[in-house]
Amino acid sequence: MVDQVHQAVTNATVSFQDQKPGTSGLRKKTRVFTDQLNYLENFVASIFAAVPDTRKKLVVSGDGRYWNDVAIQRIVKVAAGYGVTEVIVGQHGLLSTPAISHLIRSLNTSEEDCMGAILLTASHNPGGLEEDFGIKFNTPNGGPAPETITDAIYNASRTITEFKTVPTIPEVDLSVVQETSFTVGESAFKVSVIDNT
């Protein structure tokens, strides 16, 4: 099913100075993400700034903690704004970290067609509105981003003044295994919800 033609828009934003990812990504209290305007979008846009070739597939899923579903819908809109061709999401937004690593590598068998993954996890830390939320980036080899990339993400996050998004893309039903196609500008964009087993 092809939807209407959607357009990317550029939103002004204010940078944050505390978005330095560690080895397990950016981990904060959930309210930091929910209560600060564009906190999530800034960090995702900074990932795209640090990884130049975004016109590829991107895996986005997490461990199912509180706010996971909301974050995925917002990341889909930003990814579309930066020219990602397809976002692949586990059913209900769920994929384990090893499953995501395997999926990235399976998408890159003949050529690097997948730029990596955005993982929504705070590892063993408790989830919930008053607990922890995390976001990290895995590279095309399936592994966590090396320090050179996390440093580039951090540097971009401290100076970001705008980000792209496609606000008119409707929320995708993550409970159903399906492919949903959109047209963004003159390009095709697809969200694929896959069986996570």
Residue-wise pLDDT for 30-60, tens only, equals 999 999 999 999 999 999 999 978 889 999 9
Distance linking the first and last C-alpha atoms of the chain: 25
Average pLDDT, the chain: 94
Q: Rounded distance, CA 188 to CA 22, Å?
A: 34
Please give the share of the chain, as a percent, with pLDDT higher than 70: 98
Is residue 15 among the annotated active site residues? no
CATH number for the domain that contains residue 173:
3.40.120.10
Give the range of the structural domain holding residue 69, as residue numbers without chain letter: 2-194
pLDDT tens sequence across 135-144? 999 999 999 9
Q: Rounded distance, CA 176 to CA 189, Å?
A: 18
The number of domains in the chain is 1
pTM exceeds cut of 0.85: yes
Catalytic residue among 106, 123, 181, 187: 123
